[in-house]
A = this chain, B = another copy of it.
Amino acid sequence: MLTKAPHLFDDATRGTAGDSRWQGQTSQDYWAFVGPFGGVTAATMLRALIDHPQRSGDPLALTVNFCALIAEGDFDLDVRLVKANRSTQHWSVELTQGGSDVTTLATAVFAERRPSWSHQPALFPPARPFEQIQPYTKIAAPWIRQYDFRFVEGDPDFSGAKNPPASAYSKLWICDRVPRKIDTLSLMSMSDAFFGRVFHARRELVSFGTVSLTTYFHTDTEELAAEDISRVLAVADAKIFHKSYGDQSGELWSPSGRLLATTTQIAYFKA
C-alpha cells in the first residue's frame, strides 16, 4: 500500500548535506497561499538534523519561529549543535535565502529515550473509521492537495455566518494523499496541517500566518516504525483569539490509540 519510490514529501523536505550549512529548495507541491507550507519547512529543518552526522537520539521537541516569508527557490540551513549532554542534544537551525536575513528560526531537542514508567492519561478520541468518511476537497492550495483530510467532527464551514462564533474544535484523519509510512517528519508536518482555528471560529478564510509552532514527540523512532501506519487521528482546538493573535493546540494519535505527538502554535490573523 505504501509507495516505495521517493515520495513527494521526501523530495520536498530533502536537503543537500553540509557540515553546518545545508542547501534546499522550496517545493511547488507543498506551496501554500503566499509561501511554502510551514509544516514542510519545519519538517525540512528537522530532516537536516536527523540526517546530521553528529545527531544522536530521537526528536523530542521542535520549535519553529516563522520570521519572514520564504520566497520560491533555494535556501540555506545553518545548523548548530548548541549543547550535547550524555542523553540529550540541543540544536538550532536558521533558514536564510541568498545570504539575507533569517526567515525561519528553529530550536530542537533530541534525546535517547530510556525505558521508564509509562502512563497515558489523555483519552483516545472516538472516531468513525477513515474509510467511512469522504475526503475534504474544497481548498485548492497545492499543499492541501498533498493530504487526505477526513473530518470526523468540526469540518470547515465557510458560510461566513459569524454570530455566534462556531467551535474551533476539529477532529480529523490526516493521511498523505499518496500514502507514506508515518515517521517523525510526517508528524512534524502534520502538526502544522490543521486549518487556521480562526477560519473555523469565524466560518471564513481570513489573512492568517503561524508565528511560532512547537511540537513534542511522545514515541521514539523504533516504536513509531513498529506502529506501521500511514495516517493519524488528529484533534485541534483554540482557547483565545485576541488583538490579532490566536492559539492552537493539537494531538496526533496512532489509529491504535497511542498519543504520538502534541503540538501548540500561536498565529497572526486579520479579522
A118 at the interface (CB under 8 A from B): yes
Residue of B nearest to A118 (CB): B242
Complex: how many Å from CA A120 to CA B159?
21
Q: Name the residue among A68, A165, A240, A268 with the largest chain B CB count within 10 angstroms.
A: A240
Number of this chain's copies in the complex: 2
**A44-52, A130-138, A209-217 - the one binding chain B:** A209-217
Q: Which residue of B lies closest to A241 (CB)?
A: B119
Which one, A6-14, A100-108, A144-152, is touching chain B? A100-108
The answer, yes or no, to whether A71 is at the interface (CB within 8 Å) is: no
- Interface membership of A76, Cβ < 8 A: no
Write the chain B residue with the least CB distance to A219.
Answer: B242
The answer to whether the Cβ of A128 comes within 8 Å of any Cβ in the partner chain is no
Residues 172 to 207 of chain A near chain B (Cβ within 8 Å)? 201-202
Pick from B63, B242, B264: contact of A120, CB below 8 A.
B242
**Which of B67, B92, B211, B271 contacts A117, CB < 8 Å?**
B271
Q: How far is the CA of A174 from the CA of B104 in the complex (A)?
A: 35
Q: Within the complex, what minimum Cβ distance (angstroms) separates A29 from chain B? A: 27
Is B83 a contact of A103 with CB atoms below 8 Å? yes
In the complex with contacts A102-B82, A113-B245, A216-B247, A238-B121 CB distance below 8 A: yes
Interface size class of A (residues with CB under 8 A): 35 or more
0 or 1 for each of A235-271: is its CB under 8 Å from B? (1 = yes): 0011111111101010100000001001010101111
A-B contact pairs, 15 of them (CB 8 A): A61-B211, A61-B266, A65-B109, A82-B94, A82-B105, A113-B245, A116-B241, A116-B269, A116-B270, A118-B241, A120-B240, A120-B241, A122-B240, A216-B247, A219-B242
Tell me the A residues contacting B by CB distance below 8 Å. Answer: 60-61, 63, 65, 67-68, 82-83, 85, 88, 90, 92, 94, 101-103, 105, 107, 109, 111, 113-122, 165, 167-168, 201-202, 211-212, 214, 216, 218-220, 237-245, 247, 249, 251, 259, 262, 264, 266, 268-271
